Amino acid sequence: MAQVLEFKLPDLGEGLTEAEIVRWLVQVGDVVAVDQPVVEVETAKAMVEVPCPYGGVVTARFGEEGAELPVGAPLLTVAVGEGAEGHRPAADPGTDGGAARAGEQPGAGERRSEGSGNVLVGYGTSEAPARRRRVRPQGRASGAAAGSGTAGSGTAGAGSSGAGVPGRANGRVRAAEPVDGPVPVISPLVRRLARENDLDLRELTGSGPDGLILRADVEYALRAAAAQGGRAVREAGPHPDGTVREQALAATAGAAATGSAGVAGSAVPPGDVRIPLKGVRGAVADKLARSRREIPDATCWVDADATELMRARAAMNAASGPKISLVALLARICTAALARFPELNSTVDTQAREIVRFDHVHLGFAAQTDRGLVVPVVRDAQARDAEALTSEFARLTEAARAGRLTPGELTGGTFTLNNYGVFGVDGSTPIVNHPEAAMLGVGRIVPKPWVHEGELAVRQVVQLSLTFDHRVCDGGTAGGFLRYVADCVEQPAVLLRTL
């Protein structure tokens, strides 16, 4: 007899707590093999194809494309073993019926299956987890039935079903009364959003698995409350059937049409567009805001004559072998400068009130992609020569543009190189990539008048800027670092002293 197993969203590593479904790679009824990718998800750091550790027939999918799921939420169910073909569902898997049938498998707790061994971070597949039948709380059904009566009967129905169960009154979904005990939230982003908006999470009923409160639940509740002129948030408590979402959106549209005043963001004037801060864009926004809040940064800059550096690169590329990129030469200069000024290759441990200096250089570099700004990291850049750096920069850049960077390739940097000259600008005051201590910015290299050997000449000039955390060093150290970088740009032979 076939056994229906539930595959949950695994821990994707690096402290990620949720992911957005970008594209389903399988349909209900498809036959999948062990370790076959079944869904493409986007985290705050990268796009990831998630493999399924079971082989069989897909019987249900949980979540539409664009939906956000927390780690541990069901992704899909798979019928494995003999007779799996008989588990092809006839109804839409997105309906409650499909989900219910997927949960009604016999003997799920009595049989075990070997896992694939294809393990994501924090997720083992040595044993197939037992699938337990979901039992719909009686209070939820009674609360829904009470909604068809009067307000008094709706309240009574909800109250009789026990605390913590949502009910309906006058056609509106009413969240459960606050109860003691842990709040069903696992995402720190959800907690922060609620805290910043003075929202009591105990007043909400989550639409996630087992009542888990998702970020969308908090956003819907805040939107509905603002659009209705500050009406109690508990009247906008999310419900799995989507009723509250429709009410919140309708209320927002009504407020915009009537021009009602209220909390900023409650109404969108005609022609304006609201774009959710999520995925890579949301992660970048959070990180930049945190950097501005926590790091007392300062910036210094200098113009440098890059003519000799460009000639040195041309000479390297004229010889046989791989071509050397300009960013690789700049990276090599950075690692040499950090060896002389290690204060800038560090981070601040605010809890311990200590500065942590690193004995390695994990060099991040800013890369603009269609999905937004990302900062891939070149591991142990101080141990790589110009050819190795060129190769690694090319590999990471291609992976970034294709959305294939792993979380490990986007974290752990100790210093960042930002070549904004590719955008045709001369200077900038970059924001430090938290929790690092410094970032070197490089502008475009253009012909400019320059005094060279006592005479005015046209030279290739570049502007260099260094933004640094003033907690790790004083201006003298930062100025010495930047001056050394400029000297290496103007006279690449300076590097020969440390190679």
Cis peptide bond upstream of 209, omega within 30: no
DSSP 435-484: T-SEEEEE---EEEEEEETTEEEEEEEEEEEEEEETTT--HHHHHHHHHH
**CB 4 within 8 Å of CB 134:** no
**Residue 209 to residue 411: CA distance in whole angstroms:** 30
**Residue 331 to residue 269: CA distance in whole angstroms:** 47
**Residue 70 to residue 9: CA distance in whole angstroms:** 7
Do strands 363-365 and 415-418 pair parallel, antiparallel, or not at all (unpaired)?
parallel
**CB 182 within 8 Å of CB 154:** no
Any residues with CB less than 8 A from the CB of 196 and at least 6 apart, and which? none
Neighbours of 49 (CB within 10 A): 14
Helix orientation angle between 475-490 and 326-340, rounded to the nearest 10 degrees: 140
Secondary structure class of 8 (helix, strand, coil): strand
DSSP 99-158: HHHHH--TTTTT---B----PPTT---SBPPPPPPP---HHHHHHHHHTTS-HHHHHHHH
- Residue of 126, 123, 92 whose CA lies nearest to 9: 123
To which H or E segment does residue 299 belong? strand 297-305
Angle at 178 between CA 172 and CA 184, to 5 degrees: 95
Residue with tokens 């070149």: 378
To which H or E segment does residue 199 belong? none
Asked about 360 being catalytic, the answer comes back as no
**Residue 458 to residue 473: CA distance in whole angstroms:** 36
**Residue 430 to residue 311: CA distance in whole angstroms:** 28
Tokens read off for 226 = 């603002």
**Residue 409 to residue 126: CA distance in whole angstroms:** 27
Taking phi over 0 as left and psi of -120 to 50 as alpha, with beta for the rest, 13 belongs to left
Distances in whole angstroms, Cα of residue 475 to Cα of each of 298, 343, 345, 427: 9, 12, 15, 19
Catalogue the active-site residues. 470
